[in-house]
A = this chain, B = another copy of it.
Amino acid sequence: MSLDSAQLETFAAVVREGSFDAAARVLNVTPSAVSQRIKALEQAAGQVLVRRARPCQATEAGAPLLRLAGQIALLEREALDTARGSGAGTWTRAAVVVNADSLATWFMPALAAVPPELRLLFDIHQDDQEHTADLLRSGTVMAAVTAQNVPVQGCRSQRLGAMGYRAVAAPAMFATWFADGVTPRALADAPMLVVNRKDRLQHRFLRTLTRRELDPPSHYVPSVTAFEEAIRLGLGWGMVPDLVADADLAAGRYRELSPGSRLTVPLYWQHWRFDAQALTALTEAVRTVAAATLR
């Protein structure tokens, strides 16, 4: 059995754009053509490949075909470039997933270090570093910055370095809640900042420091900028990467809860085991910038 490449491309577009209509728009075909191609591909595969939700997602059976579609797109692009003698102005999509703190600090300079003549269009997803590998597993992205070292099936894993995190608070907040010291009792009562329900960094810090499972009152602030601003404004304490905390500590806007205590989160670059030029160049840029930035 051979799979139809237009059908695979259509399948990838539906998952990437999130709906049959949006896929039809980017492919310049009618929605009914999209629907027919997906049905035909599902018949050929003997499996339901698209979960018809908002947004549309690949089913578990769809994951390997989604990855295949992405790999074929990269190969086609390279073959065409070689045939034409150079990149003839066409762009290639490169979907990656990155944890929020990397995205806000060192990751964009890494992308900017990829040679522009490769004409990569970055499709960035953001998730907690403990969960970024999921999108790699589902075939949605070709590479991930992740806290997981064990390679996802069909992927390579390389260590990038570690992000160091320190627990910080505004001096006024510190004075209000930790006047009698950073004790387990004060830590149980003082308001804490958490990015979202997936973010367990603050709880890990509490466990390391107190050897207890504390669950303080928590604000949820799902934006790196807003999270750091919330600390400066005294809404609570939280874990901030060294890469951004240093300036605020030096300027006296932050105060460390436990000077010298640092959580380190090792980060890995996992990517398809697949030697397309685009992916190789991206890996090279990511490793170089990470080596210069992370611990």
Q: Using a CB–CB distance below 8 Å, which chain A residues touch chain B?
A: 17-18, 22, 25-26, 55, 89, 91, 100, 103-104, 107-109, 111-112, 121-126, 189, 191, 197, 215, 217-226, 229-230, 233-235
Contact = CB atoms under 8 A, between A and B. Distances in A.
A225 B244 CA distance: 12
A197 B18 CA distance: 8
Question: Which 8 residue pairs across A and B have the least CB separation, nearest first?
Answer: A112-B233, A104-B225, A108-B229, A91-B217, A103-B226, A122-B219, A123-B220, A103-B223
A261 to B, nearest CB: 25
Contacts of A215: 25-26
A120 to B, nearest CB: 9
Nearest to A195: B124
B233 A17 contact: no
Given A108-B230, A225-B225, A218 B121 contact: yes
B224 A225 contact: yes
Given A17-B197, A197-B17, A230-B111, A124 B217 contact: no
Contact of A124 (B121, B125, B222): B222
A18 B100 CA distance: 20
Contacts of A229: 108-109
A123 B223 contact: no
Contacts of A191: 91, 121
Contacts of A221: 108, 122, 124
Given A197-B18, A217-B91, A226 B124 contact: yes
A33 B221 CA distance: 30
Contacts of A91: 191, 217
Contact of A223 (B17, B100, B197, B220): B100
A126 B18 CA distance: 19
B109 A220 contact: no
A214 to B, nearest CB: 13
A180 to B, nearest CB: 16
Given A121-B217, A123-B219, 6 more contacts: A22-B197, A112-B234, A112-B235, A121-B218, A122-B221, A124-B221
Contact of A226 (B108, B123, B189, B218): B108
Contact of A235 (B22, B111, B197): B111
Contacts of A109: 229, 233
Given A91-B217, A223-B224, A225-B224, A235 B122 contact: yes
A52 to B, nearest CB: 14
